[in-house]
Amino acid sequence: MVPAQSGKGTIGFTTTIPVEIIFAAGYTPCDLNNIFVEDPDPQHFVDRAEHDGFPHSICTWIKGIYGVIMEHEVEAVITVMEGDCSNTQALAEILRYKGVRTIPFSFPYDRDATILSREIEKLRKELSPDRGSSLRVEKEMTVVRSYLEEIDSMTWSERNVTGAENHLWLVRSSDMLGDMVKYGDAAAEFIATARKRERMEGIPIGYIGVPPIIAGLYEFIQEVGGHVVYNETQRQFSIPYHTPDIVERYLLYTYPYGIFARLEDISREIERRGIKGIIHYVQAFCFRSIEDVILRETISVPILTIEGDLPRVLDTRTKNRIEAFVEMLEVRKD
């Protein structure tokens, strides 16, 4: 469900953007990816896109986002033209053609602070948050993000949070389900409950790549003896950086700035979290799968690449590969 509208209505977006500005402007933020994949029947959004002419050989996330927008009322969609997906330009064009207000936003590939600052200013001009609200949101969001950081840390240090829970808390942080105060309260409650659990066993595994479109992945990894202690992109969506400067925060955020920015973060977290193996998820028809070449040659622990296409449950072949991978990591450990 698209979050209940508060104030001026819902602003959708195609990937993580400085969500602080949407909240401060009195709109309800909505990450369209999450609406798509958490729907009880996500495939129908894909079918809608294909019915409207989207080719089969286009990434399913793009078709899902399009289907969500066609079915839900949004004031505007922020389309990230640089720093996310090579398909977004065409998506933005078809949305404009269909009468949807689109607001372009870009993360400069070279991490240029002046350009990012200008993009953030442009977004502010489009949505017009006032200074008082911006300061209030900054304060409240710092608290919520500190809870998310704690959940993430508990996953690998105390081991009382599952990989699936870690994934959900962090992936939803892009829009905080449309209400950051409620999201923060729920996170605080979750932390208190999780702290009462026993420490979980399992080989420490890292998950890298875009969030999975397939269901049941984390549960299966756990079932066969793994414990996902790191969700690379989802953690980045929670903007785990402590700086009061919004431009600096979104410059430290690695996801939009290519494989080398990501590699630094991945290598540091492998070390810090004691990760023994990496599962690299790639999406069918995604340009990012080419980056697997670099990852395979640079990551210091064994890596298993898996691919998803449609929003379905994990298939048997991928299950077998994951099981064999975790077994191999067990043997290496011994």
Q: Which is nearer to ligand SF4, 61 or 220 (CB)?
A: 61
Q: How far is the CB of 286 from ligand SF4 (least distance, A)?
A: 3
Q: How far is the CB of 200 from ligand SF4 (least distance, A)?
A: 29
Number of Cβ atoms within 10 Å of the Cβ of 25: 21
| φ and ψ of 196, to 5 deg | -85, -5
| φ and ψ of 215, to 5 deg | -95, 150
Task: Please give the angle made by the CA atoms of 277, 280 and 281, to the nearest 5 degrees.
Answer: 145
Helices (H) and strands (E) in the chain, counts: 15, 8
288 binds ligand SF4 (CB under 6 A): yes
Question: Binder to ligand SF4 among 77, 100, 210, 261 (CB under 6 A)?
Answer: 210
95 binds ligand SF4 (CB under 6 A): no
Q: Which is nearer to ligand SF4, 84 or 265 (CB)?
A: 84
Query: Distance between CA atoms of 224 and 60, rounded to whole angstroms?
Result: 28
| Binding map of ligand SF4 across residues 53-92, x = CB under 6 A, - = no contact | ------x-xx---------------------xx-x-----
Q: How far is the CB of 163 from ligand SF4 (least distance, A)?
A: 20
Query: Distance between CA atoms of 62 and 84, rounded to whole angstroms?
Result: 12
DSSP state of 155: I
Is residue 117 within 8 Å of residue 250, measured between CB atoms? no
Query: Distance between CA atoms of 104 and 8, rounded to whole angstroms?
Result: 20
Size of the site for ligand SF4 (CB under 6 A): 10
37 binds ligand SF4 (CB under 6 A): no
Only one residue has tokens 């998820």, namely 281
Q: Which is nearer to ligand SF4, 49 or 286 (CB)?
A: 286
Half-sphere exposure of 10 (CA within 13 A, CB side): 21
Q: Which is nearer to ligand SF4, 117 or 289 (CB)?
A: 289
Structure tokens at 307: 């691919």
Q: Which of residues 140-199 bind ligand SF4 (CB under 6 A)?
A: none
Question: Binder to ligand SF4 among 74, 77, 283, 314 (CB under 6 A)?
Answer: 283
Task: Please give the angle made by the CA atoms of 257, 59 and 268, to the nearest 5 degrees.
Answer: 30
| Binding map of ligand SF4 across residues 226-265, x = CB under 6 A, - = no contact | ----------------------------------------
Q: How far is the CB of 107 from ligand SF4 (least distance, A)?
A: 13
Q: Which is nearer to ligand SF4, 153 or 305 (CB)?
A: 305
The site for ligand SF4 (CB under 6 A) is made up of: 59, 61-62, 84-85, 87, 210, 283, 286, 288
